Amino acid sequence: MTIMQYPDASYLGRPVGEQLLSHFARRDAVRHATPLLPFRFADLLARLRPRSTHNARHNAQHSARRNPA
């Protein structure tokens, strides 16, 4: 039976918590680099705000066509 040779077997002499420090550091870097939402907060607010004058003009034109005076 042969023993597998790992390129980095330095973890064998270290406690488990110390072995995981490098893993946690990499995971933490990814977590901080990844946004929670796929868009900026300003974009979210823009979607929630009522549309500007373009929609008001559009609605006025359509209501004038439906209700001719």
Question: Residue 31 has what pLDDT?
Answer: 92
> pLDDT tens-digit profile of 11-62?
678 888 888 998 999 999 999 998 887 778 888 888 888 766 556 666 666 6
Where is pLDDT greater, at 59 or 69? 59
Q: pTM score, two decimals? A: 0.39
Where is pLDDT greater, at 64 or 11? 11
Q: Which two tokens stand for residue 2?
A: 């042969």
